Amino acid sequence: MNYSFWWDGKPHARDDILIGTIFRDPWMKPLLGQQIYIKGKLVRVTRTLPHPITDDVTIKYFVELVSGNEPFKDKQVKRKDML
pLDDT grade, residue 38 (50/70/90)? confident
* Strand-pair category, 2-7 with 59-65: parallel
Q: Domain residue spans in the chain?
A: 2-82
CA-CA-CA-CA dihedral for 70, 20, 48, 38, to nearest 10: -30
Answer yes or no: is pLDDT of 19 > 50. yes
51 vs 1, residue with greater confidence: 1
pTM: 0.72
72 vs 59, residue with greater confidence: 59
Whether 64 and 8 have beta carbons less than 8 Å apart is answered as yes
The dihedrals phi and psi of 57, each to the nearest 5 degrees, come to: -135, 165
Nearest in space to 53 (alpha carbons), one of 34, 29, 81: 29
Answer yes or no: is pLDDT of 70 > 70. no
